[in-house]
Structure 1
Amino acid sequence: MVRMQVRGEGEDAPVGVYAALRAARADLGLTPAGLKENGWAIAADEVAAKAAANAEAAAPPRRSSRDRLSVVNGGG
């Protein structure tokens, strides 16, 4: 596949190489039409969504720089 891709990107590449490359992509399911033809679907990444939700819940609340300042009496 990679060799065909490199050959198809050359300036003097014959049209047949590009046609074969398109067909190979579809056969491997690398195009939307190829996915549909093979009966495949890309599932949602549920693990990443749960990890992101857990990370947001576990993160400490954001504090501004004003929250870290305190008033000191008796300066002068």
Structure 2
Amino acid sequence: MFSIGRLFCCYFGHRLHISRRITNHIKEYSCTRCGQEMTDTANGFLANLTPRLQETNTFLAKIHERRRNRKMILKAS
């Protein structure tokens, strides 16, 4: 599908903002112009957000949330 925003991003680059924080180091990004979604990879680069990477990020977010809750319970007691 043709989009002026996508064409603009091809020439001038994406304008990314954080759409979701997975952990302290992994985030999902979305372009404000064309809507393309990206995520951090294990080696520190950005990659297009595929269904497989989205599933992996959801799993990591669950693990991170459990660990964070466990630390909060241990601190309270």
TM-score using structure 1 length: 0.30
Structure with greater helix share of residues: 1
Structure with greater Cα Rg: 1
Kindly indicate whether structure 1 or structure 2 has the higher relative contact order, using CA contacts under 8 Å at least 6 residues apart: 2
TM-score using structure 2 length: 0.29
Structure with greater strand share of residues: 2
